[in-house]
Amino acid sequence: MYLFGYRLPGMSSLVIWALLWEIVGRADLTFFVPPLSEVIATLFEIIRTPAFQKALGETAYAFFAGVFFAVVIGITVGILMGKNRLMDELLLPWVNVFLSAPLTALVPVLMVLFGFGMKSIIITTCLFAVWIIILNSRAGVKQINRSLVEMAHCFGASPMDAFFRIYFWAALPEILGGVRIGIIRAVKGVIIGQLLISIVGFGALFELYSANFLMGHFWAVLIVLFALAFTISEFLAYLERRVAYYAAKR
Amino acid sequence: MLSRANTLKILSALVLFGAWEIAGRIPVSYAFPTFLDSMRSLFEMIGNGMMYEAYKETLRPLVIGIIISAVLGIGLGLWVGLNNFFDWLFSPIFIVMQAAPLAALIPLLVLAYGIGLTSKVLVVCIMAMPVIVLNTSGAVRNTPESYKEMGKSFLASRTSILLRIVIPAASPVIFAGLRLGISAGFIGAILAELKITPTGVGDIITYSRSIADYPSMYAAIFSIILLAVLFLNLLEKIETVLFKGNQRGYVSD
Amino acid sequence: MVTSQTKERPDAGVETQLESAVSVKNITKNYGAVEALRDMSLEFPRGQLTSLLGPSGCGKTTLLKIIAGLLEPTSGEVLVNGKTVTDPGPDRAFVFQDFALLPWATVLKNVAFGLQMRGVAASEREDKAAKYIKDVGLAGFEKSYPHELSGGMRQRVGLARALSVDADVLLMDEPFSAVDEQTRRKFQEDLLNLVQHENKTFIFVTHSIEEAVYVSDQIAILLPRPSRVSEIIRPSSFRNKGVENIRRDSEYLDIVDDIWASLRTYVE
């Protein structure tokens, strides 16, 4: 996109949208949209409050725990499926089912089984992320060039050596791609979990603010959340590019 | 005689349901009914019409939302894909929307639009549209130059190139986007029901939970997951049949 | 202003006046600071096959696409049948290196594509397409999809498509480079037959010396940086010898060696 011959940077239209938000807010067109400047001011205010930091802490804890389990379980199961045909044929239909199933429906089950707390949210987060990680890890293993395997054999590499020096790196770009998508899904999972289980983290905050019609606060927290999610996603994309420099055009 | 793939699918289903049954019998938790109990409850609810009534309620915002998302989403995606200005203007919004947990907007929608059909449809739409728009615009933008050049060399008009080359070339990715969008739409619909007001299937789930009728609760959850999966598989089959040429393997010339 | 040395082979006899179907006059093409083509002029005789031969980066595909109207030159003009052209037209048809077949369409629909764009009615264009499919030896594959065909077969579909629109000039961009060696040889023999039987002008881009000398009535050797025509060679004695005998003809071998000697310094 060019303006007067100068190339505009990628996301620069967000500036226009921000301006629009400000104008709509000032014009007081609707109660629900306060001016952006007001929201930003509130944002800086509430970041310091203990309530916010507690919510952030709880959310971060649930998120990282959920992601940790999803990554460990996901990559392990995925690699297993990629290497073992029987496991693959048994498990793949289920992985596909759960990948496209509305996992939200399972949250009530988690609530009755594991209670209303952190545990359920961690499991929700893990569930949202794990399926795509499994699929991509499996794909990463399956697409390892046969020649590399034969080469490893030829030069007498031990199974350990072969795994850590060759297979791991060959599958890594694909696996990282899966982890990135999985993490984005985990962000959605941790929020959905909190929305439904609502007495912890941001879920609680949203309840509080909406009950008291604190629109500025509401949007402020929302922006923080969106910004965090977006930053994580971009950071992972950057990591993926760094690692994937040797991956063939996918 | 069933093929090996299908035999194993059935076998793995049996394994999972068997595990469920066993876990229910141990029992893993007082709130974990057996597979058979849940299935019994499911058939009961189908029999007495409860399921039908519930799905009538649930499917309404879902279907409306999906249709709106598909039509608007593909339309917007095409526009953004073909026009540089709109790409610059709209893409960042959808990129942010896709990475962000849109579910967080639900309390806001409820505040603004109340607890009726409108807000539920809106929930489905905001969950489904970003991926549809981004997939469509990406696919259109990434049409291989080679095809467009070929069209030009054979004197195709701009409309012809769009209709006969760009869109068919983009259709697999557009369909993939549709499937992802619909899947997200299902999540939105259920979230809406569990969070906004319980109606339809969401109502069955919350009500049965509150009276500790776990078999019914699990039955309802099982049914909606089954529906979503069946529907998405059906969509894939339809694409295969309607667009036979899309099963192209990897024609990487 | 043709910067060339026209090498006449000893037993060529009197040079007949050749009419140009395509004339390229002073074509320059710049990509920003990079000069892809500089002041290039060339004549392409009617009814004959002219090769553009040269190492990578010498601008031969760029020149071909400019003639096709797919690229705009920075300056200079292209004349086809005496008239200046800037866009693709019904007088020229293109055969692509990567085949450029629509993967979602059958062979029949692919071949009929050119006719479809010219507004020919469905039944008429499918009949015509079927004829050309038979001509290129793909009878029976009308309902197949490109991914079901081998590389050689796909290129024949591309060729059938280009032939079906009855253009005066056929432009071929390294058409045989993506197929295996044996298929390539067969294609070269088929191409010779095609040139003899069709009253079309062929412009053929290749980087294979043997291929160029084998199929061409005229070879234009292009050198890179800056892109220029360094030589035009008109092999004459073995043109009508029959496809099997050409590769052992001494003139053929001489020309190939000569060209290699002059090109080898330009290989990266």
User: C187 with C243, same domain?
Assistant: yes
- Cα A168 to Cα A75, A160, B253, distances in angstroms: 11, 11, 30
- What per-residue confidence (pLDDT) applies to A2? 63
Structure tokens at B78: 């095409």
- What per-residue confidence (pLDDT) applies to B1? 54
- What per-residue confidence (pLDDT) applies to B2? 60
- What per-residue confidence (pLDDT) applies to C58? 78
Final residue before a domain boundary, out of C119, C139, C166: C166
| Number of CB atoms found within 10 A of residue B21's CB | 16
Residue pair A249/A75 in contact (Cβ under 8 Å)? The answer is no
User: C176 with C86, same domain?
Assistant: yes
Residue C168 vs residue A84, higher pLDDT: C168
- What per-residue confidence (pLDDT) applies to C108? 94
- What per-residue confidence (pLDDT) applies to C11? 40
Q: What is the DSSP pairing of strand C49-53 with strand C201-206?
A: parallel
Q: Could you tell me which chain B residue has the CA closest to the CA of A91? A: B12
Residue pair C177/C200 in contact (Cβ under 8 Å)? The answer is no
- What per-residue confidence (pLDDT) applies to C156? 93
Distance from CA of B240 to the nearest CA of A (A): 18
User: C146 with C260, same domain?
Assistant: no
Q: Is residue C47 situated within a structural domain?
A: yes
Give start and end residues of each alpha helix (H) in C141-208. 151-164, 181-197
Q: What average pLDDT does range B183-202 have in this prediction?
A: 84
Task: Give me the total of CB pairs closer than 8 Å, taking one residue from chain B and one from chain C.
Answer: 74
- What per-residue confidence (pLDDT) applies to B247? 60
Average per-residue pLDDT for chain C: 85
**In this predicted structure, which of A100-104, B87-91, B192-196 has the lowest mean pLDDT?**
B192-196
At A116-167, the pLDDT tens digits run 888 889 999 999 999 999 999 998 888 887 777 777 777 777 777 777 777 7
| Beta carbons of C147 and B250 less than 8 Å apart | yes
User: Of A13, A119, A120, A127, which to mutate for an interface test with B (greatest number of B Cβ within 10 Å)?
Assistant: A13
The CA-based angle A130-A131-A136, given to 5 degrees, is 100
Secondary structure (3-state) at C120? coil
CATH number assigned to the domain covering B34-238:
1.10.3720.10
Q: Is residue C139 situated within a structural domain?
A: yes
Helix (H) or strand (E) holding B114: none
Residue pair C232/C219 in contact (Cβ under 8 Å)? The answer is yes
- What per-residue confidence (pLDDT) applies to B124? 92
Show residues of chain C in contact with B152, CB under 8 Å: 70, 88
**Greatest mean pLDDT among A53-62, C7-16, C241-250:** A53-62
Domain ranges of chain B: 34-238
Structure tokens at A105: 């429906």
| Number of CB atoms found within 10 A of residue C199's CB | 9
**Rounded-to-integer distance, Cα B78 and Cα B167, Å:** 9
| Number of CB atoms found within 10 A of residue A66's CB | 26
What pLDDT band is residue C163 in, cutting at 50, 70 and 90?
very high
Structure tokens at C84: 């200046």
Q: What is the DSSP pairing of strand C75-80 with strand C6-8?
A: unpaired
CATH number of the domain encompassing residue C233: 3.40.50.300
Q: Is residue C96 situated within a structural domain?
A: no
Residue pair C99/C178 in contact (Cβ under 8 Å)? The answer is yes
pLDDT at A29 over 60: yes
Secondary structure (3-state) at A46? helix
In sequence order, what are the residues at sequence separation of 6 or more whose Cβ sits closer than 8 angstroms to the Cβ of residue A205? A51, A52, A55, A221
- What per-residue confidence (pLDDT) applies to A155? 76
* A190 has a chain B CB within 8 A of its CB: yes
Q: What average pLDDT does range A210-217 have in this prediction?
A: 80
Q: Do chains A and C touch (3 or more CB pairs under 8 A)?
A: no
| Beta carbons of B248 and C178 less than 8 Å apart | no
End-to-end CA distance of chain B: 39
B68 class by beta-carbon count within 10 Å (0-12 exposed, 13-18 middle, 19+ buried): middle
> Pseudo-torsion of CA C104, C108, C111, C112, nearest 10°?
-100
Sign of the CA dihedral running B33, B35, B37, B43: positive
pLDDT at C194 over 80: yes
- Cα A26 to Cα A32, A214, B105, B112, C200, distances in angstroms: 12, 17, 22, 18, 71
User: C246 with C187, same domain?
Assistant: yes
User: Of B4, B7, B179, B187, which to mutate for an interface test with A (greatest number of A Cβ within 10 Å)?
Assistant: B187
* A195 has a chain B CB within 8 A of its CB: yes
Count CA atoms closer than 13 A to C30's CA, side-chain side. Answer: 7
Final residue before a domain boundary, out of C121, C143, C166: C166
Task: Give me the total of CB pairs closer than 8 Å, taking one residue from chain A and one from chain B.
Answer: 147
Fold (topology level) of A56-246: MetI-like fold (1.10.3720)
Final residue before a domain boundary, out of C127, C151, C166: C166
* Count of structural domains, chain C: 2
Domain that holds residue C125: 103-166
User: C121 with C179, same domain?
Assistant: no
Residue with tokens 């069946």: B230
* C71 has a chain B CB within 8 A of its CB: no
**In this predicted structure, which of B17-21, C134-138, C243-247 has the lowest mean pLDDT?**
C243-247
Q: What average pLDDT does range C134-151 have in this prediction?
A: 91
Distance from CA of B177 to the nearest CA of C (A): 19
User: C174 with C220, same domain?
Assistant: yes
Residue A7 pairs in a beta bridge with A2
**Which pTM was predicted?**
0.80
| Beta carbons of B248 and C147 less than 8 Å apart | yes
